[in-house]
Chains A and B, each alone.
Chain A
Amino acid sequence: MADLTQNEKRLLVALAQDRHADIVSLAAQLNATPEAVVQWAHLAMDKGLVRLERTVKKTFVYTAEGEEYLKSGLPETQVLVGIGDGISLAGLQKLPAFKIGFGQLRKKGLVTVTGGMVTKAAGATTADDDAALKHPQAGGARVKDLIKRNLLQETETVGHTLEITPTGLALGKSGLDLREETGTLTRDQILSGEWKDLNLRRYDVTNLPKKAYPGKIHPYQRIIAEMREILLEMGFTELYGSIIQQSYWNFDALFQPQDHPAREMQDTFYLGETLPLPAGYERVKAMHESGGDTSSTGWGGVWKEEKAEQCVLRTHTTSLSIQYLAENPTPPVKAFCIGRVYRRETIDTTHLAEFEQLEGIVMDEDVTFGNLLGILREFYHRMGFEGVRFKPSYYPYTEPSLDAEVYVDGIGWIEMGGAGVFREEVTAPFGINYPVLAWGLGVSRIAMLRLGLKDLRNLHRSDVAFLRETPALRRRDGGA
C-alpha cells in the first residue's frame, strides 16, 4: 500500500480511533472541505480501506413568518388568549393576528360565535400546535400542516458516513508516514538541499494524463510531402504555377479537341476572364486542323481562337507540364507537380470538385514506353505498393496510354493513375523532339487508403479531433 496519498493516510489515521465518522466532522478534524474528504474517501474506498455510506437527513427550517410565530406564538394562540372568557367579535377584530388566527380556530372548531359574541369551546387549546412549531423533528400531522401553511420548510441533506475496513484499520495502526507532502518542487528547495527531507507526492501512473495537443502538419499534407520527397530523391524538378489557366494551355496545347466533352461547362469550371494567346499558337491551330507536319490527320474542322482564350480553373497540372516543356525543350527534363486541380463534379463522400493531382514527366532522347512502366513501378514501390500492374487505357494527349493498378491487401487490385507518352501532336508544336513520358495520379485516393477515410471532405473541412488524433507516424496499412 505504498501508493497512498498523504490525504488518504491522514484519513485512515483519523478513522482508526472511532472506526466510523461522518464526513463533516472528519472534515473539521482534518481541516479540509467535506468535498475534499469525500474525494479522498473514494480513493481509499477503491483500495478497500474504507466504506462510504450515504445518509439522508431531514431538517426543518423556519420561514420568516414561522420564525416570528416561534417568538410570539401562533396567530390562533394569540387570538385564543385574546378571547379570554368571551369577547365581542368587533373587539376581537382589533387584534393584528385576528385574520389568520380566527380562521384557524374556526377550522379547528375551537370557537363559537353567538349574537356578535365570541366564546371558546370547552377545553379549547392550541398547545399541541405550538409544540409542533417548536419541535418539528417529532413530525406528525401538525408539522405537515405547518409546512402547508408555509411556516416551516423541510429540506433533505445528504451526508456521508465513513467506516474503516479491517484492512484499513490494520494499515491505519501500522504507523503511516504523515509528513507534509510536497507537490511542486521549488527552486529554493532544490538549491538549499531541502528536497532531501521532503515527502514528494507520489503519482498514480495508472491514471491517464491530461491530453496535450501538438501543433502539427495535416496528415494529408504529410502524404503529399512524402510523395514530393520521393520524386525529389528520384531527381525530378518541382513545378508550381497558376490555378487559373487559359483553355489553350489546359486543353488545346494538349491536343484536346475543342468539342471534347471534358471541355464542356458541365465538366470544367470556366471563368469570365480571357487571356491573349501566346506567340506561336498557330502551330497548335494547324495541329488541330490538319496534323501540322506530322503523320497525324489532326481533328479536322476549324480551330477557334476565342475558345482557346477562355480561362478555366486548371483541370489537371498537365497544363503546367506542357508550359514547362515549351520553355525547356532541350533534354533531359524530369519534372513533377503536386497541385490542386478542379473538376465540375457534385461533391460527395468520394468526389470533390477540387483535389490534389500528382503529375510527373520525363523527356529524354532515348526514353521508351518501357521506361515509363519502370518509373511507375519504382514510384509505387517507394509509396509502399509491392504489386503493380499495367493495362491499356485512353487519354486524349498520350499514346500509348495505360492505367496503373496496385495491389492492396483486403481490397485487391485498384486503379491508381494513368500514364502515357505525350502524342507527337502535343509535343511537335513546341519544338519538343523527344518522347515525353507522363503520368498522373489522384493523391486523395492514397490518402483515403492510408488514413482509412470514409469521406474525402474530411481532408478539407476537417474535424479538429481527427487532426489531433491522427498520429504523425502511421503504420502503412492497406499495403500503402
Chain B
Amino acid sequence: MAVISLPYRYLERLTRTDRKTILNKIALIGSDIERTEEDHVDVEFFPDRPDLFSPEGVARAMRGFLNIETGLPVYPVTPSGLSFTVDPGLAEIRPVLCAAVIRGLSFDDESIQSIMSLQEALHWAVGRGRSKVAIGIHDLSKVTGPFRYIAAPRDFSFVPLDYTESMTMEEMLEKHPKGKAYAHLVNNFKKFPLILDAHDQVLSFPPIINGELTRVTTGTTDILLDTTGTDRRAVMRAVSIVCTALAEAGGKLESVTIDGQVCPDLSASARTISVAECNKLLGLSLTPEEMAALLHRMRFGATPDGNGTLRVDVPCFRGDIMHNWDIFEDVAIAYGYENIQDNPPDTFTVGKPHPVQVLAMLVRDVFCGLGYLEVMPFTLTNEEVLFTRMRRKERAGILHVLHPISIENTVVRTELLPLLMEFFTLNRHRELPQRLFTVGDVVVDCSTYQQASGVSTHPDADFSEAYALADVVLHELSVEYTVTESDDPAFIEGRRADILVNGKKAGVFGEIHPLVLNAFALEHPVAGFEIDLRAVPGYPGH
C-alpha cells in the first residue's frame, strides 16, 4: 500500500478549500487516513489508483469530488523540438522509452521530496519494483539534445547520483546502494541500458541510477522526464501520472519525438457505457444526466448520447479503468456508498451444510462427551515434531513449503497426534489429567482430508484407556473396525494397535513410547488415538 504525505498548505492551495473539508471526505474516494500531523496528513491509497500518489493528484480528485472543478482535466502539450533515438539492441533488454519536458517549475526541498516519493510509489505500484517501469527526472539545463537511448558496454563509466567519482556501470551494481538493490534486473544482459545526450553526457542508467550531472536541485526550473521499461502500457501510464501531476504543480508540458513518434500522448480514451447496465449493477435508478454529473465529479468526461448510453472520456492518468465496471464503481463512489439502498436480495435458497463439517461437529460432540477438550493446532509444522520426536519415518506424500518463514513451519501436517503431544509439552505445568482432541485437515499428496485425534495424560493413562477411547469414538461414528497389533514405533511394543476398516489401515491407538515422551519432555504416560475420518460411512468421495 502506498502512504502519501500531503502537506496541508499545499493541498489547500491546490484543492482551493480548507483542510477540514478535505479530510472529512478523503476516505470516501477510497483511502485510509494513517496519521494526522501538525503540518501534513499521511494517507494510504490503493494500488489501483497511482494517480493519487501525489498531492497534485489528490487535489485534482478532491476538487472534482467536492464539486469545485469537475469534468475531464485537459493538459496542453507543445512540441519541445527535442528528440530521442532508441538502439534496436535494447529490444531484448529494456525496449520501451517514453520522455517528456516540463518547464517553468519551481522547486523547494519539500517539492523535490514530493516528486521523488511519487516516483518511488510508481516504481512499486506500476513498475513492479522497477522491472516494468523506471522513471528518471533530470535538470534539462545540464544536457543538450538530441538524446540517445543505447545498449552500452558494461564497463562504460560515469559519475552516478550521490557520488563524485566516475565508475563503471558494472561497479555501480556492486557498490552503489541502488545498484545493489536492482542489479538483478540487468545483470543477465551483456549490455546495459544507457541514456546519453548529444555530447555523450550520461542522463541515466535505467532502471538503476541517474547521473549526478542532471540532479534536480532547488535551482531547477525545466525537467526532462525519461521513463523506460518492458511494458509499453505501464510506461505510458507512469508518464501520464508524472506529467499531469507536474502540470498541476504549475509546469508547462512539452513533447519530444522518439524515433519520430511524438511523446507523451495525454489524450483521453473513450468508452461507451450503458446507463441501464450501470444502474442494474449498482441497484440505482439514475438518469443519464445524473450519471454524467457523478462521473464529472470523478474527473471523467461524460456525455449522454440519447440512446441510454454515455460516452465517457477516461483521463490518461486513469490506467486502472480496464472495463466498464471500473467506471460503474466511480459512479457508486460519487453517489456515495452511504446513500445506496442496502436491501438483502430476495434470492430464495435453502441452507446446506457440507457433510465434512457436519461430521467434524459430530466428532466434537463425541469427544466432548468423553471429557476431552478441543484444541486447534496450526496446520503448518515441521518434520522434527511429526517424525523425529515420534520415532516415525518421514511419510511419503508430505508437502514441503518452498520458502518457509521459520524452521517451525516447513511442512503441512499429515497427522494430528504429534501436534497434540506438543500441546502436552506446552501445558506441562497445568493440572492433570489432561485430555485433548482435535479434528481437522491433513494433507497427503496434495489431497486434503480430515482426521481426528485424542490424547490423555495422567499417572494411570495406559493402553486400555486408548483402546476404550478408540472403541467408543468409532462406535459412535458407526465405523465397523477390527484391530491388529501395530508396529508403529511411536507406541510401546505390545501396547499398540492398528485400526482396520474394510481391511485397510485407518488409524492407530496405544500407549506412547517412553522415548517419545522423553522427546516431548513429558513425565506421565500418554494414551493416544488417531483416526482417518475417510473411514467413516458417508464421508464424501469415499
Contacts and interface: CB of A to CB of B under 8 A. Distances in A.
Interface of A: 211, 213-218, 220-221, 225, 228, 231-244, 259, 261, 265, 269-273, 275, 291, 294-301, 311, 313, 331-334, 340, 342, 344-347, 352-354, 362, 364, 366-371, 373-378, 389-394, 399-402, 421, 423-425, 435, 437, 459-465, 467-468
A179 B361 CA distance: 54
A225 B358 CA distance: 11
21 contacts: A218-B375, A231-B351, A242-B446, A243-B448, A244-B412, A265-B402, A270-B401, A299-B322, A352-B378, A353-B409, A354-B379, A366-B345, A368-B345, A370-B283, A370-B340, A371-B343, A393-B30, A394-B48, A424-B325, A437-B345, A463-B426
A453 to B, nearest CB: 13
A272 B283 CA distance: 45
B376 A369 contact: no
A331 to B, nearest CB: 8
Contacts of A461: 377-378, 422-423, 426
A275 B446 contact: yes
B344 interface: yes
A295 to B, nearest CB: 5
A236 B351 CA distance: 5
B441 interface: yes
A400 B328 contact: yes
A392 B28 contact: yes
B380 A354 contact: yes
B478 interface: no
Interface in B118-163: 128, 131-132
Nearest to A216: B368
Interface in B356-392: 356-357, 361, 364, 367-380
A242 B447 contact: yes
Given A218-B374, A218-B376, A296-B322, A234 B351 contact: yes
User: Contact size class for B?
Assistant: 35 or more
Contact of B371 (A214, A298, A366, A394): A214
A370 to B, nearest CB: 3
A346 to B, nearest CB: 6
B368 to A, nearest CB: 4
A459 B282 contact: no
B12 to A, nearest CB: 23
Given A269-B402, A300-B231, A391-B28, A237 B352 contact: yes
Given A236-B349, A332-B347, A271 B377 contact: no
A424 B403 contact: no
A460 B378 CA distance: 6
A225 B361 contact: yes
Given A216-B368, A368-B280, A464-B434, A402 B322 contact: no
Interface string B432-452: 001111000101001110000
Nearest to A237: B352
B401 A271 contact: yes
A216 B426 CA distance: 19
A370 B341 contact: yes
A394 B281 CA distance: 17
Contacts of A300: 231, 233
A357 B30 CA distance: 23
A270 to B, nearest CB: 5
A394 B349 contact: no
Given A218-B374, A465-B430, 20 more contacts: A232-B353, A236-B351, A237-B354, A238-B357, A242-B446, A270-B401, A270-B402, A334-B349, A364-B347, A369-B283, A370-B340, A370-B341, A371-B283, A371-B345, A378-B344, A399-B323, A421-B325, A461-B423, A463-B427, A465-B427
